[in-house]
Amino acid sequence: MRLSDLRGRHVAVWGAGREGRAAVTAIAAHGPAGLVAVDDSANFLSLPWEGPVAAAAPLVTGEEGFDRLAAADVVVRSPGVPSTHPWMVELRRRAVPVTQGSALWMADHGDRTVGVTGSKGKSTTSSLISRLLTAMDRPNVFGGNIGVPLLDLPEAELYVLELSSYQCADLTESPRVAVVTALFPEHLDAHGGERQYYRDKLNLLAHGPHTVVVNGADPRLAVELGDRAAVRAGLPSATHVASGPDGTPWFHLRDTPLFPRAVLPLVGRHNESNLCVALAVLDALGVDVVGRKDALAIAVAEFQGLAHRLTEIPDPSGVTFVDDTLATSPYAAMHAIDAYEGRPLTVIVGGNDRGLDYSPLRDHLAEREITVIGIPDSGPRIVEALAGLPAVRTELAEDLVAAVGLSRKLTPAGGVVLLSPAAPSYGRFRNFEHRSEVFAQAVADTAR
C-alpha cells in the first residue's frame, strides 16, 4: 500500500506523537475522504494537538477512539502501538487493514534505501554505513528509529535507515539492501512472544530485497536464515577480522587486508561485527572498498560512536566509568561485559522489570570474576539469578546514585564501572537520556 492509495478513503491514524503527526501531514496531502487521529494513551507528556495537524484531522481520545479505528478503511498505527494491544487484536479479528507510516514510505522509496535492523548494533551499524558512504562521496539521508519519522524525510537519491522491530512488522516492501546485525529475544511483551518477534524483525527481508547483508557470526540469526542467499559479514567469504600483515587483527574483504582493527575506536567484538557489516554494505552498493581502503580507514578512525553506547566518562580516580544505558536486555549487557574482558569489572544492572529471563546472563558469567550491583526494580531479581556463581560478587543498592557510590568502593584503580542495566529506563526515569544524566552526575559528585 502506498500513500497515493489512500486518496478517497477513510483513514484513521493511531498515535499522536511524532510518528502520528508525520502520518497525518503526509496522508492529508493525498486527499483522503476522511482523516481522524486517535490517541488512547493521552497523558501529561502528550503534545498539544493544534495547528495544521488539528485542522487536517480531529483528535479522538478514550474508548471512542476504537470505534473510529474500526470504522476506517485503513488504520495507520504508530510504531509505539504494540501488536498485542487489545484493540489491535480486535481490528485483526474484524479484518480492518492496518499499516504504518514506515510501510507507506518504504513502498515509494525502498529501491533507494538501505534498511538496518537487529536486536543489537542497528544504531551503530546504520550510522557507520551513512558516514562511510558520505566519506566515499555517496551522499545520503539518515533516518528512521533515530527520531526522524520516515514520512518527514526529505527527497534523496539514497537513504540509510535504522529500523526497529515495530517499524519492520508492517512492511510490504523491502529496502534495496536489507541488513540484520543480530537476533535475540527482545520486546516480547509487545510482539506476543519470541517467534513473533523474529518474524516481525525479519519481515524486513520478506519482500524482495535486492541484497541481504547479515552478521554471519550471529548464531541465532544463522538458524533463522537457514540457507537463504545473503552476504554473511564476519566470515571469510565477506568482510571479516583476521591476522594482518603485521600480525595484529585487521579488517579484510575476503583475502585482501584493508586496515588494522586498532583503527576502529569502538571497543568490543560486537563493534568489530558492526563495522564488518557496514563495509559489506558498501561493497554491495558498488563502493570500491579495496581501492579506497585508506580513505575508509580515515573515516573509521574519525567515527566517535553514539551516545549512551559504551560511552566512557573520564574520572581522576583511575577507574573508567562507562555509560551503556541503552543495553536494555541481558544479551546487550553480555556484549558490553565482553568489551572489557581482562579488566576488573563492576556492572550496575536493573531497571523496569519486564519479566525477562536472566539465565543467559548467568550462563555468560559462570566462569567470570565480576562484581554485579543490582538496583530497582529488576536488580534484585537479576542478582538472585546469579546466586551461587563462585566468582561473581553481588550487591544491592537503593538507587543508581547509591550504586555509583558503592562501585567506587568495590572497583580498584584501572578497573571499569559499567552501567549496562539489562532493563529499560522507564518507571524511575523519564527516559534513557535521563538515566544517563543521573549516572554522569553521580560519577561527578562522587569523584575524589
> For residue 252, which of 285, 276, 288 has the smallest C-alpha distance?
276
Contact 136, 154 (CB under 8 A): no
Please report, as a single letter, which amino acid is at residue 44: F
Q: Identity (one letter) of the amino acid at 300?
A: V
Q: What confidence score (pLDDT) does residue 43 get?
A: 46
State the binding site.
Answer: 118-124
Burial of 39 (C-beta count, 10 Å sphere; 0-12/13-18/19+): buried
| Alpha-carbon distances of 374 from 47, 255, 346, 396, 421, rounded to whole Å | 35, 46, 11, 5, 9
Enumerate the known binding-site residues for ATP. 118-124
Q: Which of 148-152, 286-290, 303-307, 395-399 is predicted with the least confidence, judged by mean pLDDT? A: 303-307
What does each C-alpha distance from 228 to 169, 221, 440 come to in angstroms?
A: 20, 11, 44
User: Which helix (H) or strand (E) covers residue 295, if one does?
Assistant: helix 293-301
Determine the pLDDT at residue 146.
67
pLDDT at 82 over 90: no
- Of the ranges 38-47, 65-74, 167-176, which one carries the lowest mean pLDDT score? 38-47
Q: Inform me whether the pLDDT recorded for 259 exceeds 70.
A: yes
Residue 448 has pLDDT above 90, yes or no: no
Residues 125, 107: Cα–Cα separation, whole Å: 23
| Mean pLDDT score, 13-38 | 95
Measured CA distances, 37 to 32, 52, 60, 123, 255 (Å): 13, 13, 6, 30, 55
Query: Rounded mean pLDDT of 279-305?
Result: 95
The mean per-residue pLDDT over the stretch 75-97 comes to 93
- pLDDT > 80? residue 427: no
In this structure, are residues 182 and 120 in contact, taking their beta carbons and an 8 Å threshold?
A: yes
pLDDT interval class at 52 (50, 70, 90): very high
Q: Does the structure show a pLDDT above 90 at 194?
A: no
Query: How far, in Å, CA of 79 to CA of 91, rounded?
Result: 16
β-sheet bridge partners, residue 239: 253
Per cent of the chain over pLDDT 90 is 76
pLDDT for residue 192: 62
Q: Residue 45 has what pLDDT?
A: 44
Mean pLDDT, rounded, for 211-228? 94
Q: What is the DSSP letter of 429?
A: B
Domains of the chain by start residue, with CATH: 3-96 (3.40.50.720), 104-302 (3.40.1190.10), 311-446 (3.90.190.20)
Which pLDDT does position 188 carry in this prediction? 54
Q: What is the pLDDT of residue 46?
A: 58
Per-residue pLDDT, averaged over 422-437, amounts to 85
The pLDDT > 70 percentage for the chain reads 96
Q: Nearest 5 degrees, angle CA 4-CA 6-CA 12?
A: 145
Range name among 145-149, 206-210, 220-224, 357-361 with the lowest pLDDT average: 145-149
Q: Is 396 helix (H, G, I), strand (E, B) or coil?
A: strand
Report the distance separating Cα 6 and Cα 34, nearest Å: 10
The neighbouring-strand residues paired with 311 are 323
How much is the pLDDT for 42? 53
Cell numbers linked to 181:
546485525
Per-residue pLDDT, 110: 97
Q: Which residue, among 78, 148, 140, 131, has the nearest Cα to 113 in the 3D structure?
A: 140
Is the pLDDT assigned to residue 6 strictly greater than 70?
Answer: yes
Q: Which pLDDT belongs to residue 44? A: 37
Q: Output the average pLDDT for the chain.
A: 92
| Residue 191: pLDDT over 60 | no
**What nine digits make up the cell of 162?**
535504522
Phi, psi of 233 (to 5 degrees): -60, 150
Distance, CA of 37 to CA of 46 (rounded, Å): 14
Beta bridge partners of 212: 178
Task: Quote the DSSP letter at residue 235.
Answer: S
